[in-house]
Amino acid sequence: MGCSCGTSAEGKTAGCNNNGGCSTGGCNKLNVFDWLSNMDIPAHEQFDIVEVRFKNGRKEFFRNANKLDVVTGEAIVVDVPGGHHVGYVSMQGELVRLQMKKKKVENNDEIRQIYRKATLKDLEKFDEVRKREQPALYRTRNIIIEQKLQMKLTDIEFQADNSKATFYYSADDRVDFRELIKVLASEFKVRVEMRQISLRQEASRIGGIGSCGRELCCSTWLTDFKSVSTSAARYQNLSLNPSKLSGQCGRLKCCLNYELDTYMEALEDIPDTNRLKTKKGLAKLQKTDIFRKTMWFAYEDENTWHALSTDRVKEVLEMNKNGEAPETLDVDQVELAEVEVGINQDLQKMDERFKKKNRNKQRSKRSGQRNKTQQSGNRNNPQAKPNDQKRHKQKPKDKNKSQAKSNVQEDKPKSTPNNKRRNKRNFRNKKNKDD
């Protein structure tokens, strides 16, 4: 496939070296790859209609009645109303037949013919004509401002024979440009044709880079501009922010329709509801994950979101239709039996603790009574020696220490069982003082 910039006057490929921003308006604009070009088809069976590209990707079909041996990307002279024009072959063969069916163009006598291949004189004249387009664009805009017309001039295309000029403009309402045509005809000495285009077509002719970082779809491959509504953004759970949803043309992005069918199929399994009734309160829908089939609900008085599957949401909706309401979003009924068992267990534990305390108190009381009885018995029998006194006696380690202990014990009266511990403490204190 040849370069979309076409051929220069010298017969060489006219590359503009602008890396996509082609000054000739041809690079990367609705280019087509002919995947049937390598197939050998008999000459008498070849389709005789050729697709020809003009400025800014505009394409039309012409019949090759003279059976010229043309090549894709080659410049040719074609028949147009009121004269002739120069275009470039963009496609030929069986793919042209498919394109005609797609665009609903009938193969009849209304299709104009190809005159010949473009010569050097044709290309030189065509280059001179195209040099008039930019100055004419600026001059025409000034004339529109002087006449105070509510219209925006986008582009001008001069015919190769310099006999006609087509003015492309966009406007919101109908514009009375009869006086404008008279002024333009006298200014440029050509026949004037005013052609209104939409804002999407204007963006496709100008081109640019989208928010995705790639060239605009309308200027590279998209030819059918379908209507895009805000419902497409709602189905895809996109924020209704005009600055994010609108493209360079100021309208909603065409890419919103690309995945809309997939979202519509996924939404068939998701229930259409915004509220669920429970005994705890009314829960409102906060968010929906379409492909994971998960819906988040939140109560009016809470900030926490509860994730529910679509099956669970359908169950709650059926209960609400029948006049019933679940206990919560996750649980239908609270299992009270398990809660009662838990309470009884706590009570049993508390009873056991109190029983242990009572037992310890009773034991302490009993031991106290026994000690009292023993003390009373020792008072009545002073000669009786307690059994515990023998256990607390210690063997003397040294002879001197044993003699000192015996002397101290002879001076002091014999201690009773109650004064036993006090005597030991006093003895230890005295011992430390002697040391």
What's the pLDDT tens digit per position in 282-300?
999 988 999 999 999 999 8
Residue 357, pLDDT score: 73
pLDDT at 363 over 60: yes
- Percent of the chain residues past pLDDT 90, beyond the cut: 33
Residue 408, pLDDT score: 43
User: 224-253, pLDDT tens digit by residue?
Assistant: 888 899 999 989 988 888 888 999 888 999
Strand order from edge to edge, sheet including 164-170: 152-158, 164-170, 191-196
Residue 4, pLDDT score: 46
User: 32-60, pLDDT tens digit by residue?
Assistant: 777 776 777 665 677 889 999 998 888 99
Residue 393, pLDDT score: 45
Residue 280, pLDDT score: 87
- Percent of the chain residues past pLDDT 70, beyond the cut: 74
Residue 389, pLDDT score: 46
Residue 52, pLDDT score: 93
Query: Contact 254/246 with Cβ under 8 angstroms?
Result: no
Distance CA 112, CA 82 (A): 12
Mean pLDDT, to the nearest integer, of 380-386? 51
For 56-60, 108-112, 256-260, which range has the lowest pLDDT when averaged over its residues? 56-60
Give the number of other Cβ atoms within 10 Å of residue 194's Cβ.
16
Distance CA 238, CA 347 (A): 56
Higher pLDDT, 351 or 260: 260
3-state secondary structure of 396: coil
Distance CA 411, CA 426 (A): 14
Residue 134, pLDDT score: 92
pLDDT level of residue 219 (50, 70, 90 thresholds):
confident
3-state secondary structure of 203: helix
CA distances from 269 to 217, 253, 266, 290, 435 (A): 32, 27, 6, 9, 97
